[in-house]
Chain A
């Protein structure tokens, strides 16, 4: 069964450093999303991406965050200058074309900012 994959599974970084989280979507999916979950808290929407542009972003997704699909397969989330409060699980999700299409989540990247 097709699945979303994410790398790395864990990332430890120093405050102020840049990190790039990578996702490989399910092959025929065209909508891509990033969510995050701070330990013990809700899953929070960050951004949705379709046709090589951002469809919607949350207030969390400020200028420190960016997304791109650099090579037609990977979907990346970049955090330019990490802060302590960026420590969380980051989940990539993908869905097909229909507006109500279900979203399938990848296994996540656990980011720890020291």
Chain B
């Protein structure tokens, strides 16, 4: 069974701080990795994707991938109360037709 694991949280950070969200995955052959944001009762909204080892930055968001450790993370700089949501890590597993396996999500709470 190919799994994606995330700490469920809640992760509580003050406004303006850096939020760090982590994810591990079991399928060593996985090639692409996605971070989605999900507000309560809403659908997953794509934030970032990463395919290569290292860092990828997009505005306040940085995704980090370490395939050797089977670890992917998302950093949110200058966190805002509007960033409060559940962050879903999703992995496109090897051998699948773009089948995404999701983690259970980490709930982030940014307090003023």
Which residues of A line the B interface, CB within 8 A? Answer: 31, 33, 35, 41-45, 48, 50, 55-56, 58, 89, 91, 95, 99-108
Contact = CB atoms under 8 A, between A and B. Distances in A.
Given A100-B32, A102-B34, A107 B99 contact: no
Contacts of A106: 43
A43 B99 contact: no
Interface residues of B, number: 24
Nearest to A56: B97
Q: Is the interface of A mostly helix, strand, loop or mixed?
A: strand
Nearest to B46: A102
Nearest to B49: A102
A107 B42 contact: yes
B44 A42 contact: no
14 contacts: A31-B97, A41-B104, A44-B102, A48-B97, A55-B97, A56-B96, A89-B43, A99-B98, A101-B98, A102-B34, A103-B46, A105-B36, A107-B42, A108-B43
B27 to A, nearest CB: 13
B62 interface: no
Interface string B45-60: 1100101000000000
A56 B97 CA distance: 6
A102 B31 CA distance: 12
Contacts of B32: 100
Contacts of A89: 43
A103 B43 contact: no
Contacts of B42: 107-108
